[in-house]
Structure 1
Amino acid sequence: MANTYTQIYIQIVFAVRNRQALIHPEWESELFKFITGTVQKHGQKMITINGVSDHIHIFIGIKPTCCISDLVREIKKSSNKYINDQNFTIFNFEWQGGLGAFSYSHSHISNVSKYIENQKIHHKKQTFKDEYLTLLKVFKIEYKDEYLFEWLD
């Protein structure tokens, strides 16, 4: 698009199916590199990626032509195949349906990046469920409990 100038920053959050703790530290960096490649292959900019054993956060700069749900569908599909083809886990790996997407201004890039980089420390104090519900409330996103991720208690 000629004469189109944008700054669009999105944090995307999604979980392992049934919130199983299947992402292991031994291979998570390989997964994050793979997902980064997928994001870049689709013409978007990876800013930060990190997570814990049952979910990940991706912070990207996107172009206005990007459909977030299509991008995440491709990330999930290709990374499912990658994880299973690499035999990173003896279980069939699959991402849970759905996602959270939260937008930020340019002035928030540093803080959001630090937040994502510190996920392992953060989740020693707060559960994923509490974190996710807090994000929904802070961003004033209406939701129905029955459509949220399947929570394991």
Structure 2
Amino acid sequence: MSTGTYSQIYIQVVFAVNGRQSLILRAWEDNLYKYITGIVQNKEQKMLAINGMPDHIHFLIGMRPTCCLSDLVREVKKASNKWINEHGHVKGKFEWQSGFGAFSYSHSALDKVIVYIMNQKDHHRKKTFKEEYIEFLNKYKIEFKDEYLFDWLDE
């Protein structure tokens, strides 16, 4: 009998459009989310939920212990930048901001996190992205400096 590696790692990833511009349009956002899902699956990770707003996205993955999260997010950003630009979805050049947020969850929290991600548009009627992101950082007791957070637009 051989031994194996067993894990249960769930991560929510959040990142924003460069300059926090509202460039992700409803007309093509579903195709963007499908494309990003394909990248995640091709990297042998499991996409559990993906959604966002015109200026940022959230996705929740089941992550294998062999995955390097920074490499995965870098690949998602690089490939989706290229996809958006090649399809002419924006005037000029589309780019994601550097950096990202990553927040871990227990299995028992998954349903709640999935609902939260899938209801982003309703959620952001009550709370700005900046408020949401700083709330995440504080909830998870992540020390941060304002100058290293995303470039915020006046909200």
TM normalised by structure 1 equals 0.98
Tell me the equivalent position of 2:4: 3
User: Any idea what the Cα deviations from partners look like across 1:30-80, whole Å, max 9, x if unmatched?
Assistant: 000000000000000000000000000010000001111100000000000
Aligned partner of 2:38 in structure 1 is 37
Q: How far apart are the structure 2 equivalents of 1:126 and 1:92?
A: 28
- CA-atom RMSD, angstroms? 1.0
Q: What CA distance in whole angstroms lies between the structure 1 residues aligned with 2:35 and 2:92?
A: 19
Secondary structure of 1:49's counterpart equals strand
In structure 2, the partner of 1:22 is 23
Q: Helix, strand or coil: the match of 1:6?
A: coil
Which residues in structure 2 correspond to 1:70-149 (within 5 Å)?
Answer: 70-149=71-150
1:3: how far off?
1.3
Q: Structure 1 CA distance, aligned partners of 2:60 and 2:133?
A: 15
Query: Structure 1: which amino acid aligns with 2:62?
Result: G
In the alignment, which residue of structure 1 is the partner of 2:70? 69
1:34, 1:12 → 2: CA distance?
A: 16
The equivalent residue for 1:48 is 49
Q: Please list every run of 5 or more consecutive structure 1 residues that lacks an aligned counterpart in the other structure.
A: none
How many Å apart are 1:114 and its aligned residue? 0.1
Distance in 2 of aligned mates of 1:97 and 1:89:
19
Q: What letter matches 2:51 in structure 1?
A: N
CA distance in 1, matches of 2:152, 2:53: 15
Q: Distance in 2 between matches of 1:53 and 1:30?
A: 14
Question: Which residue does the alignment assign to 1:151?
Answer: 152
Shift of 1:91: 2.6
In the other structure, the counterpart of 1:57 is: 58
Question: Relative to structure 2, which stretch is displaced further, 85-94 or 43-52?
Answer: 85-94
Count of matched residue positions in the alignment of Structure 1 and Structure 2:
153
- What percent identity do the matched residue pairs reach? 61
